[in-house]
Amino acid sequence: MMNRMNIRRRASFALLAALVGATIWMPSAARAETSEQVNEVRQLLEQYHLSKPDDKDLNQSAIDGMVETLHDPYTEYFDEEEWKKFSSDLEQNFTGIGIVLIEEDGVVYAEDVIPGSPAEAAGLLPGDAIVSADGKSVRGLNVTELQKQLRGAEGTRVTVGVERDGKTLAFPIVRKTLQLPVATGQMMGDGVGYVALSGFTSDAGSLFADQVAKLEKAGMRSLLIDLRNNGGGYVTAAQHIAGLFIKDGVLAHLKDRDGKDDPISVSGGGKPYPVTILVNGNSASASELLAGALQDYGVAKLVGTKTFGKGVVQSIIPLKSGGVLKVTVQEYYTPNGRKVDKTGLTPDHVIEGAGEQLIGAYRDAGGKALTVGIGKGSVVINGVRTARPNAAFRRGSSWYVNLRLAAALAGAKVGYDSKTKTITLSRGSTIYKLKSGDSRLANKNGFNLIDSGTLARWFPGLTAEAAANGQLKLTVR
């Protein structure tokens, strides 16, 4: 069991390059203590301090102190156990049952179930409300609290109780070590192929290429790459992927502390179709490396929100004395020389909201027809599931849809006049107005929603109907 945002962020802002150096540079101490003084203090602390520290504790503290003087969140020292966990996180391995959790209206739901996971094998489904763990109620717990209840060692069992269609079901599940799917792809319709890349693991380049090849065989005419919430990883993976699209050029310019430029070259690629890349504020490091390069070469348009802004590179240096040092050694710039660190990349088409971004990117990629299913905590857009709490709710016989999501579906713009307290929906020269308090509007958890029937009447080609599974289905033709 993992929360999707946590899964994708575990490697966030992590190392961009895995390089081995022969020497280690470290700054001098804040004061000019000699090595003899440092050793003498260490010995005295070991001999007299109440806590009885040993060499390992004091050595760790000394190293941590040196690293902290750099004020660099990306330079870290790992002991053997910490490095093992970090490496596992970077490869997106975790132990659990394999469900993605999301909270809506005080209830935690299975927003998604990871393919090949114990949860999928047991029969859990997206939309299941999690109500108990090993017979104990978990009602009222948030996602983080529920995660603690469901965690456990590999091979141990937990019985997960869920509510589905008014029934309470129990699923005994054995936890195991899983890898979050790194690259997943599908056709979205109208010739648009979609590939989501959750991290730049050591094998991400080949996994991504495999997905693209499958979509090309299926007749893909335009590619949509989803890098949202992808916190980065290995530079070699980004280089591999960029090489599919750039015929001859560089992935980035890497500059060391002396200003020396060491460009990363790429070549051999070139595709006959346009590329659109989805990014957001959690797209960092290698995600920005790849997106910035494809944007500079005119290969891809970026859609979404401004990226995180991690434009520095770390080297991995195993220490002879044990442990590993991850140290920042270079800053990178896009092929056109744009700075990324603490700046980020600005999309060509700025769109807020996860569902709205996917709809906008799909249309930018040439897609037209849309089928959207709205359930608890998520929306499914042409087969692609995206977390989206408070997207719709039912009141009596009427369904209300999040106003901004509805506008995205209708191809309309939302406006608000604070003087008259009027909401507007406009498409072309047609403008519809709704006063605050209008019965066709609803407010839930601070979000404005619009009656789906009104939406369908205003925008021909858009239909709304209740689905058999208790969800709302919207279609645009």
Mind telling me the catalytic residues?
A: 285, 310, 314
- 394: number of Cβ within 10 Å: 13
Task: Please say whether the beta carbons of 35 and 43 come within 8 A.
Answer: no
- 201: tokens are 């693991």
Kindly report the CA angle at 384 between 379 and 385, in degrees rounded to 5? 40
Kindly report the CA angle at 357 between 379 and 419, in degrees rounded to 5? 100
Nearest to 411 by CA among 349, 359, 472, 464: 359
- 389: tokens are 């709490």
Phi, psi values for residue 324, rounded to 5°: -140, 140
Which residue type does 431 have? I
Residues 25, 67: Cα–Cα separation, whole Å: 11
Phi, psi values for residue 216, rounded to 5°: -65, -40
- 32: number of Cβ within 10 Å: 7
- 357: number of Cβ within 10 Å: 24
Cβ-based neighbours of 154, under 8 Å, separated by 6 or more = 95, 175, 176, 177
DSSP label at 159? Answer: E
- 376: number of Cβ within 10 Å: 23
- 75: tokens are 């330079």
Any long-range contacts for 385-389 (C-beta under 8 Å, 24+ apart)?
385/111, 385/112, 385/126, 386/354, 386/355, 386/358, 387/4, 387/5, 387/100, 387/102, 387/111, 387/112, 387/354, 388/353, 388/354, 388/355, 389/102, 389/103, 389/104, 389/445
Phi, psi values for residue 394, rounded to 5°: -105, 135
